[in-house]
């Protein structure tokens, strides 16, 4: 979809309901991430929870994607396919989930730690969340999408981290991916898209401990850092309102 869909108050309420369920899935995952569990088991928990709540997992069968969550461990940036690998102490796992209910999608992601994680990696996770918050507060009506991009990038790069370029945030609504694109970096000559009341977008910094460069595995999905260093992901679906930005994927 190339045009930006502005949502009415009633539509925002529906998106809030989808967002709440999305956030609740991530809370369920948070409670279950521990040493010894596999991402396939986490995916099964998510599927069961989503469907029991009368919703549809947005990712399942999306362009052939085979699961309800993306589970990206350590140097996997995004789109990790749930498998039988058992998490061990020191791992991190980024879980991304989408939920479709009442005609609208919610889309959110968090990075969780398993057991004892190195301090520099814990720092990466907390700064990635801060990058989201910087972008979030920059998402004011009358401003530009690039205000978000610049805020995210500036905070990540101030810590010496790499900002992933190949994948970006996006509009969210009746479709999981709507216009506009929401990059986490800024480059001269980018489209100037104004932020307006009723816009709903996913801001989703993907931040690497090392190089910003990534590669895709032969499975066509799994995206890893080029240097094997860890990566963190933090995403919420938000609305631009008259009173400032509002997080829709809130538990």
- Interacting span for ligand MF3 (CB under 6 A) from 3-11, 58-66, 158-166, 192-200: 58-66
**Smallest distance, Co ion to C-beta of residue 47, A:** 19
Q: Which two tokens stand for residue 200?
A: 């709903």
Q: Which residues pair with 57 in a beta bridge?
A: 99
* Closest separation in Å from C-beta 168 to ligand MF3: 8
CA-angle at 89, arms to 86 and 91, nearest 5°: 75
**Token pair 């190195």: residue:** 118
Specify which residues 214 forms β-bridges with: 225
Looking at the Cβ atoms of 170 and 212, the one nearer to Co ion is 170
- Choose, by CB under 6 A, the member of 75, 91, 96, 178 that binds ligand MF3: 96
Q: Is 107 in the site for Co ion (CB under 5 A)?
A: yes
Q: Read out DSSP for 8-44? A: PHHHHHHHHHHHHHHHHHHHHHHHH--TT-BHHHHHH
Q: Decide if 45 contacts 127 (C-beta within 8 A).
A: no
Maximum C-alpha span of the chain: 48
According to CB under 5 A, which residues from 195 to 224 bind Co ion?
A: 202, 204
By CB under 5 A, residue 178 contacts Co ion: no
Q: Considering only residues 70, 145, 156, 239, which one is a binding residue for ligand MF3 as defined by CB under 6 A?
A: 70
- Enumerate residues 99-138 that contact ligand MF3 by CB under 6 A: 107
Q: Residue 75, interface with Co ion (CB under 5 A)?
A: no
Question: Is residue 43 involved in binding Co ion (CB under 5 A)?
Answer: no
Least gap, CB of 65 to ligand MF3 (angstroms):
3
Nearer to Co ion, 175 or 190 (CB): 175
> 178 or 204, CB closer to Co ion?
204
> Can residue 46 be called a binding residue for ligand MF3 (CB under 6 A)?
no
The residue among 87 and 178 lying less far from Co ion, judged by its C-beta, is: 178
The least CB distance from residue 242 to ligand MF3, in Å, is 26
Residue partners of 222: CB distance under 8 A and separation at least 6: 72, 76, 79, 80, 81, 216
d(C-alpha 88, C-alpha 39), whole Å: 12
Rounded CA gap, 58 and 107, in Å?
8
Q: Is 45:34 a contact under the CB 8 Å cutoff?
A: no
The entry of Co ion, ligand MF3, none that residue 127 binds, CB within 5 to 8 Å by partner kind:
none
DSSP 71: E
Binding site for ligand MF3 (CB under 6 A): 59, 62-63, 65, 70, 79, 96, 98, 107, 170, 202, 204, 235
């Amino acid at each position: 979809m190339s045009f930006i869909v502005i949502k009415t108050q009633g539509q925002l309420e529906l998106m809030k309901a989808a967002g709440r369920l999305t956030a609740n899935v991530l809370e369920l995952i948070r409670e279950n991430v521990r040493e010894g569990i596999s991402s396939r088991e986490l995916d099964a928990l998510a599927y069961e929870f989503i469907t029991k709540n009368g919703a549809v997992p947005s990712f399942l069968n999306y362009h052939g994607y085979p699961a309800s969550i993306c589970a990206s461990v350590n140097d996997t940036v995004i789109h990790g396919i749930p498998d039988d690998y058992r998490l061990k102490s020191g791992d991190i796992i980024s879980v991304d989930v989408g939920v479709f209910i009442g005609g609208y999608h919610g889309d959110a992601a968090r990075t969780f730690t398993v057991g004892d994680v190195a301090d520099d990696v814990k720092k990466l996770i907390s700064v990635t969340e801060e990058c989201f918050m910087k972008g979030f507060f920059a998402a004011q009506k009358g401003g530009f999408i690039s205000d978000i991009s610049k805020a995210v990038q500036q905070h990540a790069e101030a810590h010496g981290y790499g900002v992933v370029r190949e994948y970006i945030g996006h509009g969210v609504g009746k479709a999981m991916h709507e216009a506009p694109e929401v990059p986490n970096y800024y480059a001269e000559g980018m489209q100037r898209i104004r932020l307006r009341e009723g816009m709903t977008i996913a801001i989703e910094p993907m931040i690497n401990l090392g190089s910003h460069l990534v590669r895709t595995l032969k499975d066509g999905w799994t995206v890893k850092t080029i240097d094997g260093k860890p990566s963190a992901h933090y995403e919420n679906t938000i609305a631009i309102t008259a009173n400032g930005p509002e997080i829709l994927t809130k538990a």
